[in-house]
Amino acid sequence: MSVTIKDIAKSAGVSYSTVSKALRDSPLVKKPTKDLIMAVANELGYQPNIAARSLVSKKSFTIGVVWPTIEQTVLSKLITTINKELEELSYTTLISINEVKSALKIFSRYQVDAILVFDSSQSIVSSYSDVPIVMHGLANKQTPYPVIDVNRQKATYQAAQYLYKMGHRYISYIGDVEGDKLQKEKVKGFEQAILELELPTYSFQKIRVNNFEQYDGYEAAKQLLTLAKRPTAILTGSYDLARGALQAIYESNLSIPNDISIISYDNFPALEHFDIPLSTVGVPLDKISEKTIEILMKVINDEEVETKIFMEPELKITNSCTKIS
Amino acid sequence: MSVTIKDIAKSAGVSYSTVSKALRDSPLVKKPTKDLIMAVANELGYQPNIAARSLVSKKSFTIGVVWPTIEQTVLSKLITTINKELEELSYTTLISINEVKSALKIFSRYQVDAILVFDSSQSIVSSYSDVPIVMHGLANKQTPYPVIDVNRQKATYQAAQYLYKMGHRYISYIGDVEGDKLQKEKVKGFEQAILELELPTYSFQKIRVNNFEQYDGYEAAKQLLTLAKRPTAILTGSYDLARGALQAIYESNLSIPNDISIISYDNFPALEHFDIPLSTVGVPLDKISEKTIEILMKVINDEEVETKIFMEPELKITNSCTKIS
DNA sequence: TTGAAAGCGCTACCAG
DNA sequence: CTGGTAGCGCTTTCAA
């Protein structure tokens, strides 16, 4: 059997309610008593039983994260960041990779304080019990819980517009053109730019990739670079695709940005270790994470919170883009 | 408040101990009563409180998985598989991405039935409380808990020997030569083959890569293929590296296996969608998963279990290898 | 400042 | 077969 507060009480010669208070650092316990109890607890290797604690206090200081698609590494960075920040707020993060419905059930049974759902499949989430839910995904529907969404369309739109303003007229988009709604939004933004700029559609190009690995970006870019009229600028749908594209460009002995400009969707701080820092557009990872924590804390404390939270992308231009005449 | 068995009892007009029994499908409750209770529970959207349940029954039917390195996608496949199999045994899997020590603390506080640790850093894990631990990693030290290890050295050794037997005398290894112990084991197996075969060391080659992405394999293979005396066979340290290498080979207009043979370390069922199926060596994913579940169930049921479990690699040869004269 | 006691939601045992 | 009741480990009144 593991050691309980009763064991500590016996060992320290106090009542077990005093132990409980001491361990919670209550001001109702005298310093010496507290110290003694702490010492004994330490020595015995005491670990509080969360089950018992949350049973009475109705608080578990735990956030459940529903992440059915661990294969998607993009999220791993965000989840790691969120995990770290929650830890600093003395919250524990537990992750389930089950499908949304069953993961929700698990977490509600565990009486976590809140559930954070990552789900691009946009399935309707009906809440079990009364555990508050926060979701990452598309905020297009009316939901009973807050959804944090990133304005992907605006991001690619912004990037395309910027490239246009810099004089580019042959711009290619590399991304998952036939993908899920999240991906389609990015394509939409690109297309919107075409429309508004009233440019001939042939001057824009979409290259389809099947997934988001570096290699796909490499292949797509290679294909582009052999065109008779090769693009003067490339916009990629993800960081990994950009990495592949960069490689293809270097291999073709083209230089960035003189021969070709490049901007990538995604915005997290891993993007620095290139010869030329990559221009990016998207919501910075730390801002998403910060907002997520903020919303989580709000729902936990029963504060009012909007159900649709759109985050604005930021365009970060570096030397990977240049003006052409 | 969420609904409890007392609410159900009131609604169904029975005692709450009967409800408890009915929900656990006990034979001590008559079918009609059971049906009634089930119906009411369903209607009320009842979710059992795990905290309360495990508090009294000392069983949580939950396995805690410690996975501090989510970035490593190789593991994501294995963990997904294990998760699925545990689900079928009606066990719940909860994942923590915190560092080993703090994750162990969390899970022991949650009174999970067992903790599964994935840790290549080989840090010594001291058990909190009495939750049994099963580890994936290096089984070289004496530990108080079972460690499941894969004989990586034997795997690469086997592969190199096989290639030798097929007449190859110029064999290159692509992998993380300076990596952690897990990676070094693979290198060791390769080197062991060189030694035992008493071949001049120059006929073997190790190409160092920094991480395990497809692109690294691509680059490494490219480098190899431009050598004056290019290898007739390549052994890669991972699936992703192999994919990159394949690409480089195709681009050089070489054909597999006529111009070059290739074997990859890693052994899971994603390897089929190549033009030529890849030869592999390693412990099949499903066998690792199966063994893991077996050990977990044993430690949960307090059965005796060895502390060092070595799994034997399997060499699967396909058309990606051929004999040369 | 400390201790005693109630009770969180549930299981398990015993009585009927 | 069903109901009553003790108690899991803990927090939180209320008394002392």
Asked if residue A320 is part of any domain, the answer here is no
Residues B41 and B80 in one domain: no
Q: What is the pLDDT of residue B283?
A: 93
Q: What is the pLDDT of residue B202?
A: 62
pLDDT over 80 at A202, yes or no = no
pLDDT over 70 at A272, yes or no = no
B151: closest CA of chain A, how far (Å): 26
Q: Is residue B316 exposed (0-12), middle (13-18) or buried (19+ Cβ within 10 Å)?
A: middle
pLDDT over 60 at A273, yes or no = no
Q: What is the CATH number of the domain that holds A42?
A: 1.10.260.40
Asked if residue B236 is part of any domain, the answer here is yes
Residues B115 and B10 in one domain: no
% of chain A at pLDDT higher than 70: 89
pLDDT over 70 at B10, yes or no = yes
Asked if residue A213 is part of any domain, the answer here is yes
Enumerate helices (H) and strands (E) in chain A, giving the number of each. 11, 12
Please state, in angstroms and rounded to a whole number, the distance separating the CA atoms of residues A46 and B109: 10
Q: What is the pLDDT of residue B134?
A: 95
- Residue B210 CB closer than 7 angstroms to strand C? no
> What is the pLDDT confidence band of residue A270, given thresholds at 50, 70 and 90?
low
Who among A45, A50, A87 is closest to B109 (CB)?
A50
Q: Which nucleotide is nearest to A2 (CA to C1')?
A: D9
Asked if residue A324 is part of any domain, the answer here is no
Q: Side-chain half-sphere of A126: how many Cα atoms within 13 Å?
A: 1
Asked if residue A223 is part of any domain, the answer here is yes
In strand C, which positions have an atom below 7 A from any protein CB?
Answer: 1-13
> What is the pLDDT confidence band of residue B129, given thresholds at 50, 70 and 90?
low
Average pLDDT over residues A31-35: 86
Q: What is the pLDDT of residue A234?
A: 93
Strand ranges, E, within chain A = 62-66, 92-96, 114-118, 133-136, 147-150, 171-175, 204-208, 233-236, 261-265, 279-282, 308-311, 314-316
- Residue in this structure with the two tokens 């649709």, named with its chain if needed: A308
Average pLDDT over residues B263-280: 73
* Interface probe, candidates A110, A210, A213, A251, chain B, greatest B C-beta count within 10 A: A110
Residues A278 and A174 in one domain: yes
Mean pLDDT of chain B: 87
> Which long-range contacts (C-beta less than 8 Å, at least 24 apart) are formed by B119-122?
B119/B66, B119/B68, B120/B69, B120/B180, B120/B181, B120/B182, B121/B180, B122/B181
A61 Cβ under 8 Å from any chain B Cβ: no
Residues A129 and A219 in one domain: no
pTM for the model stands at: 0.89
Residues A102 and A218 in one domain: no
Q: What is the pLDDT of residue B127?
A: 62
Strands B279-282 and B314-316: antiparallel
* Structural domain span for residue B164: 152-284
Q: What is the pLDDT of residue A143?
A: 87
Asked if residue B55 is part of any domain, the answer here is no
Q: Which nucleotide is nearest to A56 (CA to C1')?
A: C8
How many other C-beta atoms are found inside a 10 Å radius of the C-beta of residue B198? 6
* Interface probe, candidates B97, B118, B214, chain A, greatest A C-beta count within 10 A: B97
Asked if residue B319 is part of any domain, the answer here is no
| Residue B180 near residue B121, CB atoms below 8 Å | yes
Least confident window among A4-13, A83-92, B70-79: B70-79
pLDDT over 90 at B1, yes or no = no
Residues A109 and A67 in one domain: yes
In tens, the pLDDT along A294-323 reads: 999 999 999 999 999 999 999 999 889 999
pLDDT over 80 at A269, yes or no = no
Nearest alpha-carbon partner for A85 in A310, A294, A312: A294
DSSP letter, residue A274: S
Taking CA atoms, A102 is separated from A299, B28, B94, in Å, by 22, 29, 12
Average pLDDT over residues B15-33: 87
* Residue B93 CA, nucleotide D7 C1', distance (Å): 28
Residues A278 and A181 in one domain: yes
Who among B1, B98, B105 is closest to A47 (CB)?
B105
Residues B277 and B295 in one domain: no
Residues B203 and B276 in one domain: yes
- Residue A228 CB closer than 7 angstroms to strand D? no
Q: What is the pLDDT of residue A1?
A: 62
% of chain B at pLDDT higher than 90: 43
- Residue in this structure with the two tokens 């086997």, named with its chain if needed: B158
Residues B274 and B230 in one domain: yes
Q: What is the pLDDT of residue A303?
A: 92
Q: What is the pLDDT of residue B234?
A: 94
Least confident window among B59-63, B107-111, B264-268, B293-297: B264-268
Please state, in angstroms and rounded to a whole number, the distance separating the CA atoms of residues A126 and A120: 16
Residues A41 and A72 in one domain: no
Q: Side-chain half-sphere of A107: how many Cα atoms within 13 Å?
A: 33
Please state, in angstroms and rounded to a whole number, the distance separating the CA atoms of residues B12 and A116: 34
pLDDT over 60 at B256, yes or no = yes
In tens, the pLDDT along A47-66 reads: 889 889 888 888 899 999 99
> What is the pLDDT confidence band of residue B277, given thresholds at 50, 70 and 90?
confident
* Residue B297 CA, nucleotide C16 C1', distance (Å): 39
Who among B47, B95, B247 is closest to A108 (CB)?
B47
In tens, the pLDDT along B51-67 reads: 898 888 888 999 999 99
Say how many domains are in chain A. 3
Least confident window among B139-143, B260-264, B299-303: B139-143
Please state, in angstroms and rounded to a whole number, the distance separating the CA atoms of residues B314 and B311: 10
Asked if residue A253 is part of any domain, the answer here is yes
In tens, the pLDDT along A205-251 reads: 677 665 556 777 888 888 888 888 889 999 999 888 888 888 888 88
In tens, the pLDDT along B194-231 reads: 888 877 766 666 776 655 567 778 888 988 888 888 89
Please state, in angstroms and rounded to a whole number, the distance separating the CA atoms of residues B3 and A63: 21
Q: What is the CATH number of the domain that holds A231?
A: 3.40.50.2300
Spatial neighbors of B228 by CB under 8 A, at least 6 apart, are: none
Name the phi and psi angles at B207, rounded to 5.
-110, 125
Cβ–Cβ gap A51/B48 under 8 Å? no
Q: Is residue B252 exposed (0-12), middle (13-18) or buried (19+ Cβ within 10 Å)?
A: middle
pLDDT over 70 at A279, yes or no = yes
Residues A84 and A113 in one domain: yes
